[in-house]
Amino acid sequence: MTDPKTLASRFPGDFTFGVATASFQIEGATKEGGRKPSIWDAFSNMPGRVFGRHNGDVACDHYHRLEQDLDLIKEMGVSSYRFSIAWPRIIPEGVGWVNEKGLDFYDRLLDGCKARGIKTFATLYHWDLPLALLGDGGWTARSTAYAFQRYAKVVMARLGDRLDAVATFNEPWCSVWLGHLYGVHAPGERNMEAALHAMHYTNLAHGLGVEAIRDVSPNVPVGLVLNAHSVIAGSESTEDKAATERAFDFHNGSFFGPVFKGEYPASLLDALGDRMPEVEEGDLAAISQKLDWWGLNYYTPMRVLADASEEAEFPATKPAPFVGETVTDIGWEIWSAAMKSLVMDLYDRYDLPEMYVTENGACYNMGVGADGEVDDQPRLDYYADHLSVCADLVSEGYPLRGYFAWSLMDNFEWAEGYRMRFGLVHVDYETQERTVKKSGKWYRDLALNFPHGNHKTA
């Protein structure tokens, strides 16, 4: 179903359609306005870490093009903008002095959104930890959780009056496992003990952050954004099905468990508990405070097989072959059905509040054609398929309140640098010219149908 009006008719009139970005991926100006380096500045500038040694120094130059980009969001027809706040702009050393110029930038962002009638969904942490905190161990240190709590208080005291919603973290799975176990994201660690420390202290920081937000801005709905994995067994064998459950506990349960159940999965504790930091009294109570909402970031399923080799660490799995016939340009399998089964499974396992799809999108690297257009039909098809799944979930009673496309524009794609493009808007990194793609025009036609009041769900 690719007709935007037909698809729009399947959603309630108050459904939120938005676009999403993240600070390090678009802002640039890494040495301006009092900002100091993040772990991603250091990681990007080390040889062999990021494709082409690309870095975030300029990115999409959003810091200098804020008004133009806010106009672009308005032109996209969406009602909401999900963005992240750069901790190194606000408290450049992670602790200590507060940088007024950094807060001023986000003042302008929020005021600009409000002037254009755009709702604001802020994320406090989208991976750009102040580099200075790495001296104390970064996320492997308990002290970082308390530094985050203070940062959350500072941000909400200044900006909370204009926020429509706030998330503590974006995809802690990435900053924990990719950053500390697999080594492909900053800070580039490959160590299970480090990863387990980062896991617990990130979860603790979330809980302390929720306390801070509610203390300062009790009326702002607070949530957490998780890239939950749709873990699918590569075969029907008993071994592979058991491996799938272990993988679920490791990739999902390590965050969903403490946040929504107040406990870590038993299988995780049995296998790795002796390598975790001390879980102090009160930690799990703080982590498991009731949330107002949660966000799902979904792109592709995770297919697994059991790994029977002696050196295999928990969860002892290896990738299974794709089933879908098509992949995106970043090599990710397209399988929209897994998005639905994942949401159903998560609501079956956990007592979850209402939700948003806070990221969903596809990497295709088409450029601007001779006619000045970007024909990215495969991305349009991807959106249509996954939005149809979202409409199914709404019709079946799941409390899905909104959808944010990833991303507003092409940007710094972490370890892939600028070679992978997820945007609805094409960015020429030489000139910084923005060109709305075919998919962006289609999404605009969809979003412009909202909000309206003629077909509320029962």
Bridge partner residues of 359 (DSSP): 297
d(CA 200, CA 139): 9
67 is catalytic: no
d(CA 121, CA 381): 26
Bridge partner residues of 75 (DSSP): none
Q: Give the containing element (helix H, strand E) for 170.
A: strand 165-170
Number of residues that make up the chain: 458
| Angle 360-363-368 from CA coordinates, rounded to 5° | 120
Helices (H), 126-227: 142-159, 172-173, 179-180, 192-216
Q: Indicate which residue of 354, 359, 396, 416 is catalytic.
A: 359
In the 8-state DSSP scheme, what is residue 327?
B
For residue 246, how far is the Cα from the chain centroid? Answer: 23
d(CA 286, CA 273): 20
- At residue 123, φ and ψ (nearest 5 deg) are -115, 130
In the 8-state DSSP scheme, what is residue 69?
H
Q: What positions carry a catalytic annotation?
A: 359
